[in-house]
C-alpha cells in the first residue's frame, strides 16, 4: 500500500485529492499533513519520512508583492528538498506547476524554478519525479478572487453581484476531478517526467463562461429547473456553480401547490436532462441515505409526512439540517461531495420523490457511503 502525503492538503486541489484518495483506501494510505509542518524541521521530517509519494501542492498563487510570492514558493521547494535529504528519502515527488511557466511573471518563474530544483534532486539521489504543468483548474470549493475566474464568477452571480470581465481571453480548462485522476495515474505509473503537460479538457472564452453561469443562476437558483446540459464540461461547470450557492438559506424550497375540489397538484421538477425518478415510503424513525456523489445531481421532494434531511460536506464537521413537512411540499437538492440522508421524524408514513440525473449503473454508481 502506497503512503501518500500532500503538502497543501488544505487547499483547493489538495482537498479534492485527499478526499478522492479516501475512495481508494485499499490502495493508498493518506499521511496527515498540516501547514505548520513547514515551520518546523522536526515536524516536516516526520511527515516526509512516512511518505512513499509526496504531492507538492503547497504554494502561494497571489500576493500583493510578486517578489514575496516568488520567494515563498521557491522557499517551500527548498525546505522540502532539505527535508528529503535530511531523512535520506527517495519518495516519488509530484509537483503541481502551471501553464504560466512561460509567461513573464514571477509566479510562473517560481513554479518553473521549483520544478527544475526537484528534478535535479531526483537525478542526484536516483528517485522519481513528476513535474505537472497544469492548465486553469476549476471546480467546487475553490476560493473566489484567488483560485479561478469561475470561482469568482460563481460566487458573485450566486450572491446577486455583477461580475466584470477584465480580459475576454480564451481559457484552457481542466476540472479538478479530472486533474485528480491525472495525479492518480502518475502515482501509479511511478515514472520520471521532468515536464508533463497536463492536457486541458475544454476551452472557453471568459464571456462564454459568464453567460453559462448566469443561465444556471436564472434557470436553477431562481426557478428550480435543472438546465439543459450538453456535455461533461457543462455538467462539471453546473455542479461547480451549485456549490457556491448559500444552500443553508436556499433550501428547502417550497413547491407551488395547485388545489381544486379534486385535490392538489405539485410540479416536482422541470429539467433539460433525463435521469431517473423514484418514489419511496419510509416508516417513522427510519433513515435512508448516508451516502454522497461526486458528479450526480439529485433532488429529494417530500410530499407527505415530516422529514429531516441532513447534509455534510466531506472533510468537514458542520451538519446542515432541513425540516420538511408534506403540508407544505418542498425539496432539497444534494450538492456533490455532500453526504446526505433523510429521516422520517413524523408519526405517519413519509412519502418522498427522488430524482437523479442519470439512471443507476452498478458498474459506475458514483455512490459512496458515509454517515452524515
User: pLDDT per residue over 288-312, tens digit each?
Assistant: 999 999 999 999 999 999 999 999 9
Position 124 scores a pLDDT of 97
Position 182 scores a pLDDT of 98
Cα-Cα-Cα-Cα dihedral sign, residues 9, 15, 19, 21: negative
> What phi and psi values does residue 141 have, to the nearest 5 degrees?
75, 10
Position 262 scores a pLDDT of 83
Question: Nine-digit cell at 249?
Answer: 438559506
How many whole angstroms separate alpha carbon 357 and alpha carbon 355? 7
Confidence (pTM) = 0.93
Closest among 4, 61, 5 to 38, alpha carbons compared = 5
Position 359 scores a pLDDT of 85
> Which residues in the chain show pLDDT less than 50?
none
Per the CATH hierarchy, to which homologous superfamily does domain 247-369 belong?
A: Jelly Rolls (2.60.120.10)
What fold characterizes domain 2-142+167-202? Answer: Rossmann fold (3.40.50)
How many whole angstroms separate alpha carbon 189 and alpha carbon 183? 10
Closest among 229, 135, 226, 122 to 179, alpha carbons compared = 135
> What phi and psi values does residue 108 have, to the nearest 5 degrees?
-60, -40
Where are the chain's structural domains?
Answer: 2-142+167-202, 247-369
Amino acid at each position: 500500500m502506497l503512503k501518500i502525503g500532500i503538502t497543501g492538503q488544505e487547499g483547493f486541489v489538495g482537498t479534492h485529492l485527499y478526499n478522492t484518495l479516501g475512495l481508494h483506501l485499499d490502495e493508498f494510505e493518506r499521511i496527515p499533513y498540516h501547514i505548520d509542518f513547514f515551520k518546523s524541521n522536526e515536524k516536516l521530517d516526520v511527515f516526509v519520512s512516512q511518505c512513499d509519494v509526496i504531492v507538492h501542492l503547497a504554494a502561494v498563487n497571489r500576493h500583493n508583492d510578486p517578489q514575496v510570492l516568488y520567494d515563498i514558493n521557491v522557499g517551500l521547494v527548498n525546505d522540502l528538498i532539505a527535508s528529503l535529504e535530511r531523512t535520506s528519502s527517495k519518495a516519488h515527488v509530484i509537483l503541481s506547476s502551471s501553464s504560466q511557466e512561460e509567461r513573464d511573471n514571477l509566479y510562473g518563474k517560481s513554479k518553473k524554478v521549483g520544478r527544475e530544483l526537484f528534478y535535479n534532486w531526483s537525478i542526484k539521489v536516483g528517485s522519481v519525479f513528476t513535474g505537472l504543468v497544469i492548465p486553469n483548474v476549476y471546480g467546487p470549493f475553490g476560493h473566489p478572487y484567488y483560485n479561478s475566474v469561475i470561482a469568482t464568477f460563481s460566487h458573485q452571480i450566486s450572491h446577486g453581484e455583477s461580475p466584470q470581465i477584465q480580459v475576454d481571453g480564451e481559457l484552457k480548462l481542466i476540472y479538478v476531478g479530472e486533474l485528480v485522476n491525472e495525479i492518480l495515474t502518475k502515482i501509479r505509473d511511478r515514472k520520471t517526467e521532468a515536464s508533463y503537460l497536463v492536457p486541458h479538457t475544454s476551452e472557453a472564452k471568459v464571456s462564454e463562461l459568464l453567460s453559462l453561469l448566469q443561465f444556471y443562476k436564472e434557470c436553477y437558483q431562481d426557478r428550480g429547473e435543472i438546465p439543459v446540459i450538453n456535455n461533461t464540461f457543462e455538467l462539471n461547470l453546473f455542479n461547480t456553480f451549485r456549490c457556491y450557492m448559500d444552500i443553508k438559506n436556499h433550501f428547502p424550497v417550497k413547491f407551488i401547490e395547485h388545489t381544486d375540489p379534486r385535490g392538489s397538484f405539485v410540479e416536482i421538477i422541470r429539467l433539460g436532462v433525463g435521469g431517473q425518478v423514484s418514489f419511496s415510503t419510509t416508516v417513522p424513525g427510519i433513515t435512508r441515505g448516508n451516502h454522497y456523489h461526486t458528479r450526480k445531481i439529485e433532488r429529494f421532494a417530500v410530499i407527505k409526512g415530516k422529514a429531516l434531511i441532513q447534509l455534510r460536506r466531506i472533510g468537514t464537521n458542520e451538519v446542515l439540517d432541513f425540516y420538511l413537512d408534506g403540508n407544505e411540499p418542498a425539496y432539497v437538492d444534494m450538492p456533490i461531495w455532500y453526504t446526505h440522508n433523510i429521516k422520517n421524524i413524523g408519526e405517519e408514513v413519509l412519502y418522498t420523490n427522488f430524482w437523479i440525473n442519470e439512471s443507476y449503473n452498478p458498474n459506475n454508481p458514483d455512490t459512496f457511503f458515509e454517515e452524515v
